[in-house]
Amino acid sequence: MQSTSLRRLVFAFCVSFAALSPFATRHTRAQTDDTAAKPKVVDPFAIDNLVAWCIVPFDDRDRTPTERAEMLVRLGLKRYAYDYRAHHIPTFDDEMKAIKKHGIELTAWWFPTSMTDEARLILDVLKRHDIKTQLWVTGGGAPTNTPQEQAERVRAEAARIATIADAAAEIGCRVSLYNHGGWFGEPENQIEVIKALNRPNVGIVYNMHHGHDHLDRFPELLKAMMPYLDCLNLNGMVKAGDKTGKKILPIGDGDLETDLIKTIIASGYQGPIGILNHTQENAETRLRKNLDGLNECLKTIASTIDTSQYSAEVIDQILAQAKQHGDATRGVSVFASANFACINCHRIGRHGGNVGPELGGLATKRKPAEIVEAIYWPQRTVPVEYKAVAVLRTDGQVIRGYEVSRSQTALVIRDPATETIHEILSDDIEDDQVVGSLMPDGLTAAMSPQQRADLIALMLSLGRDDVMPSEKLDAAIARARAHLSGPATFPLNREPINIADWPNWQAHINRDRIYDFYAKQAAYFRGQSYIPPLLAQAPSLDGDAYGHWGNQDDKTWADNRRNLSDTGSLQAGVVRGAGKTIPRGVCVHLGGDNAWSVCLNPESFQYELAWTGGFIKFSEVRSGLINGVMIDGNPQPNEVTSRENNFIPNDTTQYRGFFRHGDQVAFFYKHDGEDLLDVPTIVDEKFSRQIAPLQSHPLKSIAQGGPANWKETIQTNFTLSQTDSAYEIDHIELPKQNPWKSVLYLGGIAFDSSGNLYVCSVQGDVWRASGFQYPSTTATWKRFASGLHDALGMVIDADGIFVLGRDQITRLHDLNDDGEADFYECFSSAMKTSPSGHDYICGLERDTQGNFYTASGNEGLLQISADGKSARVLATGFRNPDGLGLLPDGRITVPSSEGNWTPSSMISLVDPTADKPPFFGYPGPRDGKAPDLPMVYLPRQLDNSSGGQVFVESKDWGPLSNQLLHLSYGSASHFLVLQDSVDGQSQGAIVPLKGDFLSGVHRGRFNAHDGQLYVAGAAGWGNYAINDGCLHRVRYTAKPLQIPTRFHVHQNGIRIEFALPLDPAVATDAKQCFAQVWNYRYGPGYGSPEFSTT
């Protein structure tokens, strides 16, 4: 109800301006001729008029059309603009059906820049679904240099747009020119193009996030665009945001959008208003944040009170605002702010100046209305003792102050700012007059409505200990004064303190990376005689010039090499094609003259896709890991895939996996207690499905093991580190130069009973290495399996080789001992699989009872039974958990990576015997309660994207034996994690360890044969990976290492124990210690700043 009444107040404000605006009339008249014109709306900021934008490819949920429409319904949004990527094209019809079913209006469609086949396809879709919408068209170009060049550019662009506009008009659509930068993105140029076109169905869509260079002249541009404006898309705005990493901000996170919205209201614009995601965050969370921010902006505008004229009614409004929205504690910050300088002139207790009246006990001396009057209209009623006098001397000097005394011979004035007494002889006075209060008029004009309400609330509390006790007030002012000068900074360079510990610090990807910020800050301020109460928070990863994300973006992470790899005849994945999405699909290339391929859905036991002319392809976005597997060919009719040989699945039917025999694949089921073999083949250039009991199947030999697919072995080098350290980092080169051009982003690592090393890759390979034991300098590799679905975990024990995929846990069997897996057994599919691009399932551990553990953002921490048949959720609320760790006592650690509702990367500790699964915060509050706390937060400068944990089970690993290690995917480093517990709350401390790995490490295992740690890493996005993947051995050398090994928090301090004795002179010198403390904010923003605790 509060939101509704607020929007009604803004609506009244909007109408009063629209009635005065000639531009509103012109805009309305222009629309009456448009084929896709919408009825005139009254409140442009009503939720029914808001358009969701940049929510299709920009969404880490990677929703289906139906899921997207359901999201909009949940948000209360009824309009959206559709943007897409190539893999969305097969779902165009499904998209239109979904929005019609859910009552969503398609306000606009991001359209190609010319009339391509893709453009004609879009128009055909719109026509078939009888949808009339805006087509948003972009352009570019460098600035023109001469009038002739400008005229030619306008003609050329008008000709380009004309073909689109004419085609759009045939089906009742508009074309809206989209400002996307360059010459075409300048509104004046767009208007010239529109005038040259002279077509009634062409207008403008203006996007604030592409308008940072227009901020100073936005009112002028809006006035010019009004006759043509079809849609106006909002954004959080700061000056030069596009150059400081703040181009895309939620509404309300900037400092300019409130004034921009005021300008829009004043203009009388009443067309659609867009709100956008345009990030790889959860679109629903981001849209909700925009709605909340817009509501706050409108609330600020609505609460603006006209104080230009004094009246009792205005005072009542001000007091009502203060009582309803004001906060006296916040008012202290306003009073002490250098922007308003109240504290420079007025004293409260021991704080402040003596220019104006002392304010202690003010609420007991003055009526509320008198207090408001003195602040807003300081000249109306001035106490005699505070009426200032201005004296003009005969030499032209002007002296202002309070009159102390006056006689026939002299006038004595006190300067309140300096407490200087001026005695001016009467003969030296040209003129003098009373000028009233020294407090200037309009001081509150620079304050926000909230600040004004807070200041009044403070004044109304002074002298009232029941509202603001004097001790609390004194402490609050002291803290506020300490913050006046802002956070203290120090000279900061980017180089590591110990360059030898970071041999890769000058690699290109690390070119802007800032090393050891906290250590440098501590070393600098520890040596100062005065430590400021407020220190600057850590900068962004690559410095504040690049903003939160650093110098990387999706262009950095684009990689097409996966399409150059030889995937062979099989690939599992989230399969998309012909308008369908199969979350657990298994694609098989059958060949034949028409190059047949099919995709089995193991959940339906049906080949739900069949196509000819190719096999599969991957998007180059984020190395091909975000958009699943796309069919590459010509889809065949559904009836082609329905030849089922009288096989009808029932409740007893179980998917058991598949056999590989050369290029041939046979699926294996248990049906009515009988083993069935299902072999997809091509017979007479037609797809054929041969299903029969295994023992009588004509191709049963497939289930006995086949010829090796990858006979080659590859030898790589092994670089032994020799840095004279307690722990050396050896580099085992991966077989990246392989005949199949397989890209190796490692997702898991394990050892067999012989000490051979196995790794799995996110791309779906499994490789085995041998001959690497110390002091060997080579390793021999052989490919063991391929085609798995996002392999991100691995366990090997007496029961077999288990690989975690996004679809299932696969147990790999080498049936004929040729060094390759022949049977890919579906050991467990008890976990849920999401088709969303970012919903990976990561990390695999197994306890002594045989239970498996894995984690996903979709479900949380899972315990999977020893037989693989059931799963139990142990904890939820993890954002992108890339791994986990298993402690000897059965507790499990789970990482989360910073983002929305995860203020910083963190490690949570879960007891599987707990009565109720804990909830750690993502994707937002539950039941209005605070989430459970993690064991430890990881500051962003240390780890922005967390990997798994490894318990040091080796007894011969020096001071780190029986400790917990944490791997950082983001910083390509690792940490020691010390554990503590106070009153049942687990907590931890992290200690950076020496280790500059070549990729983002996220998996680790100890090798029982040599007792050393092996870590595996990957590239992808958002990390400092130099190589695609990496494999390192962290080798203990028995050299001494001084490092914290234990800590405990006491009521009055922290006890820290070390591996080696400390120097008493250092340990007892408090100046050798330095501690910082800050808060994180739990909220929908992407991570949290470091907030002062005061």
The Cα–Cα gap between 720 and 741 comes to 27
The Cα–Cα gap between 660 and 667 comes to 9
Q: Which residues contact 263 (CB under 8 A, 6 or more apart)?
A: 218, 219, 222
The pLDDT value given to residue 299: 82
Residue 488 lies in a domain: no
Residue 513 lies in a domain: yes
Whether 36 has a pLDDT exceeding 50, the answer reads no
% of the chain surpassing 90 pLDDT: 68
- Domain match, 354 and 284 both: no
The pLDDT value given to residue 42: 53
The pLDDT value given to residue 645: 59
The pLDDT value given to residue 1039: 96
Torsion of CA 772, 776, 777, 783, to 10 degrees: -20
Domain boundary among 424, 448, 482: 482
Q: pTM here?
A: 0.68
* Contact between residue 618 and residue 630 where contact means Cβ atoms under 8 Å apart: yes
pLDDT tier for residue 700 given thresholds of 50, 70 and 90? very high
Residue 6 lies in a domain: yes
The pLDDT value given to residue 55: 96
* Contact between residue 98 and residue 73 where contact means Cβ atoms under 8 Å apart: no
Residue 1084 lies in a domain: no
Residue 1088 lies in a domain: no
The pLDDT value given to residue 502: 95
- Domain match, 539 and 423 both: no
* Contact between residue 941 and residue 541 where contact means Cβ atoms under 8 Å apart: yes
Residue 1071 lies in a domain: no
Higher pLDDT: 545 or 797? It is 797
Higher pLDDT: 303 or 720? It is 720
pLDDT tier for residue 134 given thresholds of 50, 70 and 90? very high
* Contact between residue 571 and residue 788 where contact means Cβ atoms under 8 Å apart: no
Q: What is the mean pLDDT of the chain?
A: 90
- Domain match, 667 and 729 both: no
How much of the chain is helix, strand and coil, in % rounded to 5? 25, 30, 45
The pLDDT value given to residue 638: 67
pLDDT tier for residue 338 given thresholds of 50, 70 and 90? confident
Residue 1085 lies in a domain: no
Q: Compute the average pLDDT of residues 478-498.
A: 84
Domain boundary among 302, 332, 363: 302
The Cα–Cα gap between 907 and 936 comes to 6
Range of 265-269, 417-421, 528-532, 879-883 with top mean pLDDT: 879-883
Q: Which residues contact 74 (CB under 8 A, 6 or more apart)?
A: 284
The pLDDT value given to residue 272: 96
The Cα–Cα gap between 275 and 291 comes to 8
Q: Compute the average pLDDT of residues 115-124.
A: 93
Q: Compute the average pLDDT of residues 33-45.
A: 51
Q: Compute the average pLDDT of residues 177-185.
A: 95
Specify which residues 415 forms β-bridges with.
420
The pLDDT value given to residue 484: 67
Range of the domain at 91: 2-302
The pLDDT value given to residue 171: 96
For the ranges 170-184, 232-246, 787-801, which has the lowest average pLDDT?
232-246
The pLDDT value given to residue 333: 87
- Domain match, 992 and 1051 both: yes
Whether 1027 has a pLDDT exceeding 80, the answer reads yes
The pLDDT value given to residue 641: 59
3-state secondary structure of 193: helix
DSSP secondary structure string for all residues of 975-1016: EEEEEEEETTEEEEEEEE-S---SSEEEEEEE-TTT--EEEE
The pLDDT value given to residue 12: 27
Whether 83 has a pLDDT exceeding 50, the answer reads yes
Domain of residue 435, CATH code:
2.30.30.100
The Cα–Cα gap between 676 and 667 comes to 8
- Domain match, 721 and 746 both: yes
- Domain match, 29 and 122 both: yes
The Cα–Cα gap between 331 and 327 comes to 6
Specify which residues 417 forms β-bridges with.
none
For the chain, how many structural domains are there in total?
A: 5
* Contact between residue 495 and residue 505 where contact means Cβ atoms under 8 Å apart: yes
The pLDDT value given to residue 130: 93
- Domain match, 697 and 797 both: no
Whether 787 has a pLDDT exceeding 90, the answer reads yes
The pLDDT value given to residue 1005: 97
Sheet of 1013-1018, strands arranged across = 746-751, 757-761, 766-770, 778-785, 713-719, 727-732, 1029-1036, 1013-1018, 1000-1006
User: Is the dihedral angle over the CA atoms 98, 101, 103, 105 positive or is it negative?
Assistant: positive
- Domain match, 319 and 468 both: yes
Whether 745 has a pLDDT exceeding 90, the answer reads yes
Q: Compute the average pLDDT of residues 871-888.
A: 97
Domain boundary among 677, 704, 731: 704
% of the chain surpassing 70 pLDDT: 95
pLDDT tier for residue 485 given thresholds of 50, 70 and 90? low
> Residue 1050, class by beta-carbon neighbours within 10 Å (0-12 exposed, 13-18 middle, 19+ buried)?
exposed
Range of 52-66, 793-807, 922-936 with top mean pLDDT: 793-807
- Domain match, 474 and 512 both: no
Q: Which residues contact 430 (CB under 8 A, 6 or more apart)?
A: 392, 393, 394
* Contact between residue 934 and residue 922 where contact means Cβ atoms under 8 Å apart: no
The pLDDT value given to residue 200: 95
* Contact between residue 790 and residue 747 where contact means Cβ atoms under 8 Å apart: yes
Q: Compute the average pLDDT of residues 1029-1033.
A: 97
DSSP state of 639: G
Specify which residues 105 forms β-bridges with.
79
How many C-beta atoms lie closer than 10 Å to residue 149's C-beta?
11
Alpha helices in 590-669 (DSSP H): none
Q: Which residues contact 832 (CB under 8 A, 6 or more apart)?
A: 856, 858, 859
The Cα–Cα gap between 699 and 145 comes to 73
3-state secondary structure of 10: helix
Domain of residue 1031, CATH code:
2.120.10.30
- Domain match, 929 and 885 both: yes
Domain of residue 79, CATH code:
3.20.20.150
Q: Which residues contact 827 (CB under 8 A, 6 or more apart)?
A: 802, 808, 809, 810, 811, 868
Residue 144 lies in a domain: yes
The pLDDT value given to residue 150: 96
DSSP state of 34: -
Radius of gyration of the chain (CA): 35
At how many degrees (to 10) do helices 449-461 and 368-376 cross? 130
Degrees, nearest 5: CA angle 673-675-678: 130
Higher pLDDT: 706 or 4? It is 706
The pLDDT value given to residue 640: 58
Q: Compute the average pLDDT of residues 417-426.
A: 85
Q: Compute the average pLDDT of residues 770-793.
A: 96
Give the pair of three-digit tokens for residue 420: 């200087």
pLDDT in tens, 344-398: 888 999 888 888 888 999 999 999 999 999 999 888 888 877 788 888 888 888 8
- Domain match, 259 and 340 both: no
> Residue 240, class by beta-carbon neighbours within 10 Å (0-12 exposed, 13-18 middle, 19+ buried)?
exposed
pLDDT in tens, 286-306: 999 999 999 988 888 877 787
Q: Compute the average pLDDT of residues 310-336.
A: 89
- Domain match, 255 and 111 both: yes
* Contact between residue 161 and residue 175 where contact means Cβ atoms under 8 Å apart: yes
Range of 194-208, 327-341, 445-459, 480-494 with top mean pLDDT: 194-208
pLDDT tier for residue 579 given thresholds of 50, 70 and 90? confident
The Cα–Cα gap between 27 and 225 comes to 9
